[in-house]
Amino acid sequence: MRTFKELKQKIFESGEHTFGGGFGNSFYHDGARSAIKDYGKGTFELDKEENIDRVNAFLNSFFNRTFSDYKPQLGVLKSKLNLIGLDFDYNKNTELSKGPNSFELKRWGGTFGKSPTTPHDEFETTNGFPEGMSYNLNMNVGMSDSGLYNIGANISQAGSTDGDIEA
């Protein structure tokens, strides 16, 4: 009787040219299409230009089609951005207007609380980024000739003019 290890070796040596060898492993990922990187501190480090480019590439790919209703897509977008530590204020009652819309981004939901210098009756809130840095998620909602929504989106540093996008 053969052991699993011997059988596996025989299948791999058979010359079958599928991903994962003879097992046809559907869990094979080459990582080429991911916005998440495996070095540094992660994609949420938006002070590095390459990370903004990675997230903007994801946004371009995510909104590369038309939608009959944009609301479900924004919920999915919010959860996808949460995976890389970014968040924006959006819920099912938030309305987007046709044309440009902007949301402040927060890292890990921002912070809320007190520091030793905070007055007793006040709280501090931040966006979670290093002091003096803030970023916006800019969306431009348009209507196509077919009556479907098309959305253009990007991330830019607050106060920059990179927020001009086409729907």
Residue 106 in domain: yes
CA angle 104/153/44 to nearest 5° reads 55
How far apart, in whole angstroms, are the C-alpha atoms of residue 106 and residue 93?
20
Q: Count structural domains, the chain.
A: 1
Residue 26 in domain: no
Residue 108 in domain: yes
pTM over 0.75: no
Residue 10 in domain: no
Residue 22: the pLDDT is 46
Q: Is the pLDDT of residue 138 over 80?
A: yes
Residue 144 in domain: yes
Question: CA of 97: how far to CAs of 81, 124, 138, 142, in Å?
Answer: 21, 31, 12, 9
Residue 103: the pLDDT is 92
Question: CA of 7: how far to CAs of 10, 19, 21, 59, 142, in Å?
Answer: 5, 18, 12, 44, 57
Residue 59: the pLDDT is 92
Residue ranges making up the domain that contains 93: 48-167
Residue 36: the pLDDT is 56
